[in-house]
Amino acid sequence: MTDSDKPINFIQQIITDDLASGKTSKVVTRFPPEPNGYLHIGHAKSICVNFGLAENFSGGCNLRFDDTNPEKESDEFVQAIIEDVQWLGFKWHGDIRYASDYFDQFYQWACDLIDQDKAYVCELNAEQMREYRGTLTEVGKDSPYRARPATESRALLEQMKAGEIAEGTMTLRAKIDMASPNINMRDPVLYRIKRIAHHRTGNKWNIYPAYDFAHGQEDAIEGVTHSICTLEFAANRPLYNWFIDNLDVPSTPSQYEFGRLNLNYSITSKRKLKQLVDEAHVDAWDDPRMPTISGLRRRGVSPAAIRNFCDSLAVAKTDGVVDMAQFEHFIRDDLNNNARRAMCVLKPLLVTFTNYDQSELFTASSHPQRDDLGSRELPFDRQIYIDQSDFSEDTSLSRKKFKRLVLGEYVRLRGAYIIRADEVIRDNDGEIQEIRASVVENTVGADAPEGVRPRGVIHWVSALNSLDCTVNLYDRLFNQPLPDSAEGSFTDHINPDSLKVLEGCKAELSLANVESTERYQFEREGYFCRDSEAETLVFNCTIGLRDNWKA
């Protein structure tokens, strides 16, 4: 199915109608993250939706940081978000924008609302404000400061701005409707005092606008036509529209909501992801077990896999939970088509050939279906390593159940000879230390001779010409499909086997100088990439060759 054959979603239909009616002449969307954490897979869907809509309708998408809460924000998060958007392959329209660019204008608009008797300075503390607000079933009641004269509120706001009022003692609130069935409309806070330096404006401001007050006005300033957000903001839309209607803004954007991406066996809450980092359940925001875009990148997931997955998801008016296996399908499909092949022995077992004493170089394809990816050379010597799991002394094992090397029988080495296991050498503790074996001559790239029947094909590396490396085997971070909904804290359901570190692995020489951006299929093991943060040779497992979580 081509893009033109796909049914359009409800947002595309709205935009199509707006263009046809003349309501919109050029589509402008925006991706507006708060720089209080790293982006995760849920944000990837929003990125694909907003940038994708702009691209499909020949418009533009702004990258804007809603940096209205300096207490939780930092330039580290800003730079990480910029890198993630670029890595996913998207280009924003014009310069990067910030809510802090508009702080002076927000303040003037707040003063305008006071002058219109539509805002007032309130001295209720946070606990009192919650009490006065009411509940979903009980209307709120007016603040005792609601009737404060505009001149007095203006003077107090100036004092708040100048740093003359203690934090937590005053707020500026909109005067809307304390009996509204929508709690968001019950005199929401516009400004609060925060005596905290901002990562961009420094100590200029002692008050900061609330997200709800800033967001719609940012859209209006930037000429955003379609403000697309996730469903949790649906109840905020009447407030979004109230500000647009009651302020002299340069344009009138419209907000629309779609279902957010929730992925099972995962967490997509920045607050809880931060908890995982702060409590050292993971190493950092870019830990390869994290559902952050930086974590997925470090793990070896490609931008194409993420975008293909996000594009496969419905843009609908309902939330849902997507099975992790669906995401993993797109990861495997991308890697199967694009990852070079290589061999790495995770648990080495030495094999010594008693009838072979030379060195050869075999040539192997880097991908069975991709001639453009070239080939690599495989040194073959008197001693090789195979994986411990690829050998058994149990001669009663059926060929169907064990297609590997068995004492007294044959197996083919990938791209090399057929060999036979002849003898087991043990150490003082009785553990297998070495296999003595025989090479079957003239079997490289040739059929087995009569009377020789290999059980299967296994991978290997030369013992004399291989690389020492460490391999990190990653699994799903949680062992419950919905860790947020399971009994106890979500951290109680962290998978204890989410990371296994294997030291002393042996890799083929072609992997010596690979970049972290290159992805490999370690034959018969899974897909791997070099760890971008390690100083030594460390490979991270992106995903196994097959889904081991199937029931």
What is the full DSSP assignment across 290-325? S-BHHHHHHHT--HHHHHHHHHHS---SS-EEE-HH
Token look-up 């843009």 returns 315
CB atoms within 10 A of CB 196: 16
Active-site hit among 30, 133, 161, 270? 270
Write out the two tokens for 446.
Answer: 């040739």
Active-site hit among 260, 272, 347, 436? 260
In the 3-class helix/strand/coil scheme, how is 380-395 assigned residue by residue? ECCEEEEEHHHEECCC
Q: Is 382 a catalytic residue?
A: no
Q: Say how far apart CA 17 and CA 19 lie, in whole Å.
A: 5
Q: Is 270 a catalytic residue?
A: yes
Write out the two tokens for 21.
Answer: 């009616």
Write out the two tokens for 198.
Answer: 């901002």
SS3 514: coil
Write out the two tokens for 201.
Answer: 């404006």
Q: CA angle, corner 232, sides to 63 and 58, nearest 5?
A: 35
Count CA atoms closer than 13 A to 460's CA, side-chain side: 32
Q: How big is the chain by its Cα radius of gyration, in Å?
A: 31
Q: Is 317 a catalytic residue?
A: no
Active-site hit among 34, 55, 123, 360? 34
Token look-up 């609130």 returns 173
Number of residues in the chain:
551
Measuring CA to CA, which residue among 48, 37, 36, 529 is closest to residue 297? 529
Sign of CA dihedral 498, 503, 509, 512: positive
Q: Say how far apart CA 63 and CA 385 lie, in whole Å.
A: 51
What 8-state DSSP symbol labels residue 447?
A: P
Write out the two tokens for 268.
Answer: 């997509």
Q: Say how far apart CA 426 and CA 480 lie, in whole Å.
A: 42
Active site residues: 34, 260, 270
